[in-house]
Structure 1
Amino acid sequence: MRLTTNEKALIGAYMERASQAPQNEKIPLFCDHTLRYLNVELKRLQRSKFTINSITSSLSLLVRYAWQVRGLGPDVFSISHCTSDFIRDWLNYEITEHKISAATRNLRLSHLRCYVVFVAEFCFKACSIYLSLKQIPKMKVIQQEKTLLTEGNISSMLKAVINTEKGKRNVLILLILYECAIRVSELTALMVKDVINIDGKYRLNVMGKGKRQRYTPIKEETAEMLKAYLRVFHESSSPDTPLFYSIRKEKPVALTVKTVETIVNQAAELAREHDPTIPRRVHPHAFRRSKATALYQKGTPIEIVSSFIGHSSTETTKIYTTPSEEQLRKAMEKCGFPDEWKNAKANYTEDDLKKKIVACGLTP
């Protein structure tokens, strides 16, 4: 078990304070501090709404497992139950019963560890629970090839949905996902007021991760479709109305991430009949990844790509920068051998070469 420098300092500080704590310190119930952690601490740390929802889901699943599988209700289940063996059983249960991936399993373990560290501020004995959880290794995640869509794939999907019931709206959703390379959570958060028109040039005011704001330009053709969409669907809307919405109880409500995922999947299924090159699984994030990759392969500097898609570091953007065959060919040409080397002849015999190889401890 390895602890980072920050973890060692944190636990050391807790242990020092724990030596001054009463020996009969009460172990809190697991749910005693969840409300404060989710509603106060995570917001203080400026975690996104998506991250908070993900953490809430992880902790809720553990409480549900303790109650329904282990018979420990919320009025009994405490931090002290979260031993290494107990949590291993829970994670294995999630894998077998809910078919979660290794990556999701690791994420839920990480969420629990962070919560236990927070609880340790109020109950020093939680430090030992944290050390127990550190003994649980993360599962190896097999990196799958990321889905990329060609511009031909995008075109096929647009043609496939244009004549469906909500085709005009869905086409615009697909276009913005690709052309603006925005995250699906950023798209669902857009409001009417986020469509900015300056001297006839349209752009979107996008709020990204970490509350980083960026303005994303929109192509003229897409801007024309957006203006038509606003005329039809937002003629009398207030600025705070969700840009893409569904009607619930006679009020416009922002589309959920799940709804956008369904729109994308349906478009892919319809288009696959005429374009079999469309991948079997298409996620909204594939549009963002494909746009970033296309920009890089066309020679756009990585710094500009990074700024366009809202990354705080070019290191993060590098996962999208798959070089094209043309880029590789040009790179090889730049590294060509000098002319005097091209016709050079070896000044040693094959036997000499074998001797050199053997001298290096290798087998010729």
Structure 2
Amino acid sequence: MKSDDFFTLIRSWLTSYLPRSRRLSPHTIRSYKTALNTFLVFLDETRSLKLEQIGFDVITYSTMNEFLTWLMDTQQLAASTANQRLAAIKSFLSYCAGEESSLVTVWLDVKRVRPARTPEHAPDALSMATVEAMINAPGQQTLRGLRDTTMILLLFDAAARIQEILDLTVANVTTTAGSGQVTLTGKGRKTRTLPIMDKTGRHLEQYLDLFHPNPSVPGAPLFYTVRAGQHHQMSQDNVAYLLNKHADTARKHCPEIPEHIHAHQLRHARAMQMLRAGVPLPHIKEFLGHANISTTEIYASADNKMVREAIQKAASTTLDPAPIWKGDNDLILRLAGLK
């Protein structure tokens, strides 16, 4: 098929199929768009192919294997990120095969490409002492301090992904003592309603009184920034900046806080806390919004590893008898929905 057919299908996939038929979030669609743009850069750098020369004939099993290697070796992406780029392109080709029967062979050929192996890492959960220090760091003497305290507490209590917190609206929150809850929208636009601690509910109630005094706007973003007098949803960069700013403050009283903090560490900490409290893995899976319990099982593995390390540390005082050895590109991209 010709180049214009290739980019026409890209456009319909990005602007119609994904948002309307699949009802994917703008965040997920941006991720797919990034994968396609990266693939176009790969073809330019390794094949010297300009946009008007690109068609489905260049997408083969061999090409996609090279693309995966290029992502990790040249672009220095982690294997998990490279696999996400590959999965996005496979998803696009699956759509194309459904639209044009002649492309089924292309899709089946690329479908055989195996994802890169990813090393298993224990989740970098924060300790409870660290979580408490982070929650206390903003203080509540100022409006921003109260806002940041509420956000950090909610990130931990709901074990939420950062975008799930940013997508919350006023209508998604109930603060009634004994039955407080939040309704999060996770990956694939799946929603889950989670109970929250009364402590979190009290902070949220105080926050709502001060930052959302007008209850007639239930769809307003719960956490926001103000630009030109208008409320705008906070960005992930905003939250990352705030977390690391407060981590610097908390580190004075809790030196074990890592040099760099990210919101997912609070999610990991809550999951580990639930596991150690005896909550069954299937319940933790639903709480976290995992699609597969194998993702949740990594917390159990991490806990076993910590026990093992503690045992080895306790035994370290025992004498060791012997050491152990160890075209117009802008126009084409815009028309295809890639810009």
CA-CA distance at 1:184 after TM superposition: 1.4
| Match 2:206 to one of 224, 228, 240 | 228
Partner residue of 2:257? Answer: 278
Instruction: Determine if the alignment matches structure 1 residue 39 to structure 2 residue 15.
Output: yes
Q: How far is 1:187 from its partner?
A: 0.5
Q: Count residues with an aligned counterpart.
A: 304
Quote the Cα distance in structure 2 between the aligned partners of 1:167 and 1:211. Answer: 31
Residue 30 of structure 1: aligned partner: 6
* Percent identity between the two aligned chains: 25
- The aligned counterpart of 1:291 is 270
Contact 2:123 2:302 in 1 (8 A): no
8 Å CA contact 2:122–2:301 kept in 1: the answer is no
Shift of 1:314: 4.6
Partner of 1:18: none
Query: Matches of 1:85 and 1:200 in 2, distance apart?
Result: 58
Q: Look up the SS of the partner of 1:321 in the other structure.
A: helix
In 2, Cα distance between the equivalents of 1:110 and 1:324? 30
> Could you tell which deviates more after superposition, 281-290 or 188-197?
281-290
Q: TM-score, normalised by structure 1?
A: 0.72
Contact 1:29 1:75 in 2 (8 A): no
Following TM superposition, by how much is the alpha carbon of 1:250 offset from its aligned partner in structure 2, in angstroms? 2.5
Aligned mate of 1:242, from 221, 240, 260: 221
Which residue of structure 2 aligns with residue 177 of structure 1?
Answer: 155
Correspondence list, 1:7-26, <5 A? none
Work out the CA distance in 2 between the residues paired with 1:79 and 1:240: 43
SS in 1 for 2:39: helix
* 1:156/1:275 contact within 8 Å kept: yes
Cα displacement (A) at 1:315? 4.7
* Residues 1-364 of structure 1 mapped to structure 2, 5 A cutoff: 29-43=5-19, 44-66=21-43, 71-134=48-111, 136-162=113-139, 166-198=144-176, 201-236=179-214, 238-311=217-290, 314-322=293-301
- The answer to whether the 8 A contact 1:188-1:254 is kept is yes
Whether the 8 Å CA contact 2:68–2:116 is kept in 1: the answer is no
Say which is worse superposed, 116-125 or 131-140, in terms of deviation. 131-140
Paired with 1:308 and 1:138, the residues of 2 have a C-alpha distance of 28
2:168 counterpart SS class: coil
* SS, match of residue 120 in structure 1: helix
Query: Residue 214 of structure 1 aligns to a residue in which SS?
Result: strand
- Which structure would you say has the larger RCO, counting Cα contacts within 8 Å and 6 or more residues apart? 2
Partner of 2:316: none
If the length of structure 2 is used for normalisation, what is the TM-score? Answer: 0.76
Unaligned runs of 5+ in 2: 309-339
Q: Secondary structure at the match of 2:218?
A: coil
Secondary structure class of the residue paired with 1:33? helix
Distance 1:61 1:164, change over 3 A: farther
SS state of the match for residue 166, structure 1? helix
> Is this contact kept in 2: 1:302–1:317, CA < 8 A?
yes
The residue identity in structure 1 corresponding to 2:22 is L
Cα distance, 1:289–1:121 mapped onto 2, change above 3 Å: same
CA shift for structure 1 position 71: 4.9
Distance of 1:62 and 1:109 partners within structure 2: 9
8 A contact 2:61–2:113 mirrored in 1: yes
Shift of 1:290: 1.4
Structural RMSD (CA): 3.2
1:28–1:123 Cα contact (<8 Å) kept = no
Measure the CA separation in 2 of the matches of 1:165 and 1:95.
Answer: 44
CA contact (8 A) 2:225 2:233 kept: yes
**Aligned-residue offset at 1:174:** 0.8
**What CA distance in whole angstroms lies between the structure 1 residues aligned with 2:127 and 2:16?**
43
